[in-house]
Amino acid sequence: MCIGCHGISMYKTAYPEVYSVPMIAGQSPEYIVKALQAYRAGERSHPTMQGIAKGLNDQDMADVAAYYGGTGRAGK
């Protein structure tokens, strides 16, 4: 699911507003987990990411972070 938005260079989403979507490949796994936890807790406010994060448990978040973080896999 992540690569659909985060794996496209220069991708912008139009909901809820025009927003440049960051690439996550190579991002720190710790940062990815903290960002997902913040979306799940409502501390970060993008509705799509909040909805996705609320469906993830802590192990799911760790798995996503391990896969994309530091590996450069997203977008390949």
Question: Residues near 9 by Cβ (< 8 Å), separated by ≥ 6?
Answer: 23, 75
The average pLDDT across 39-48 equals: 95
* Distances 51 to 15, 30, 61 between C-alpha atoms, Å: 13, 20, 14
Pick the more confident residue, 19 or 61: 61
* Mean pLDDT over the full length of the chain: 89
- Would you tell me the crossing angle of helices 29-41 and 47-54 to the nearest 10 degrees? 100
Could you tell me the pTM of the whole model? 0.84
Mean pLDDT is lowest, of 16-20, 26-30, 31-35, 52-56, for 16-20
DSSP character at residue 18: -
Per CATH, domain 3-68 is 1.10.287.130: no
Name the residue ranges covered by the structural domains of the chain: 3-68
pLDDT confidence of residue 37 = 98
Pick the more confident residue, 53 or 76: 53
